[in-house]
Structure 1
């Protein structure tokens, strides 16, 4: 038997092995999200979060996350990233949560097992795609005020009243 067919098989197996490793190690992209959620929601403002418990890494969590809407009482997406002392992922947990679960974001010091835990929360549809790695990433990111009663006055009547009073005072002087 000639060496060429053996070499061709070897090269083909090497290429397939490299391709499989590349596919398994890639992280989720925005394009992957398009396939995860339909354009309709079960209730106004409905959203989804990546959801998993004790996943070995971010890719496995996001890949196998159930395609379900969060309950109405949830408003945020939560991510807990446990890392070994050298920064390698030990486990990933993601879920839908209420405000109370997002008040303790940040990173802990290395515990007795040698692990560091970083927690982040975000608001929005499937916003918990990345993992928090450090204090910069382990934040509570919202798109609306947490306390909606503390909002600036946005009444056009109030603005008009202030302008009229200002003009009246200016014309008197």
Structure 2
């Protein structure tokens, strides 16, 4: 009976590893973002943006919107593909510099950066998918632990 339980636990462990390897690899597929260098408005940026996939390592779309604090008039919109480390809680949101408000948002699904942030709320709302842990990150960290616990439990109760 112990041998049968050990075989079952090993089979389950292998099956789970294959399943989660698939989930992790699926999350590494390329992304396409709206991209533009310093256009005068969000619509000008989106109209100009070429339809090209981001490089494999740059899996996040970032939008930087600069506008006048007094009038709200856009001055520059810059959209680009960036590394995930360039879009954390420390990067997302708005700040003021010499009468210019600079708002940054980030997202990680295809064409997710069509809109430009114009205050802290929109910057955070547009960034919600990047600011919460992804299922792939969760799977890559927690799966080996879960597999070990399941295997050990199967062996203990046989």
Pairwise same-fold verdict (TM > 0.5): yes
1:144–1:65 Cα change, 3 Å: same
Distance, in Å, in 2 between the alignment partners of 1:82 and 1:67 is 23
> 1:89 matched to which residue of 2?
74
Picking from 110, 123, 130, the partner of 1:125 is 110
Gaps of 5+ in 2: 1-27
SS in structure 1 at match of 2:62: strand
- Answer yes or no: is the 8 Å Cα contact 2:31–2:108 preserved in 1: no
Match of 2:86 in 1: 101
Aligned counterparts of 2:32 and 2:100: Cα–Cα separation in 1: 29
Separation (CA, whole Å) in 2 of partners of 1:96 and 1:159: 41
Distance 1:159 1:62 in 2: 52
Which structure has more relative contact order (CA 8 Å, sep 6+)? It is 2
Alignment pair present for 1:50 and 2:37: no
Distance 1:75 1:84 in 2: 30
Task: Choose the corresponding residue for 2:134, options 144, 150, 165.
Answer: 144
What is the Cα-based RMSD across aligned positions, in Å? 2.8
Instruction: Say if 1:72 and 1:155 are closer, same or farther in 2 by CA, change over 3 A.
Output: same
Size of the aligned set, in residue pairs, is: 120
Q: Where in structure 2 are the equivalents of 1:29-48 lying within 5 Å?
A: 45-48=29-32
Deviations 1:94-121 (A, max 9, x none): 0000012112111002x22x10000011
**Higher Rg of the two aligned structures:** 1
TM-score (norm 2): 0.64
Q: Match of 2:153?
A: 161
Unaligned runs of 5+ in 1: 1-43, 169-173
The TM-score with structure 1 as length reference comes to 0.59
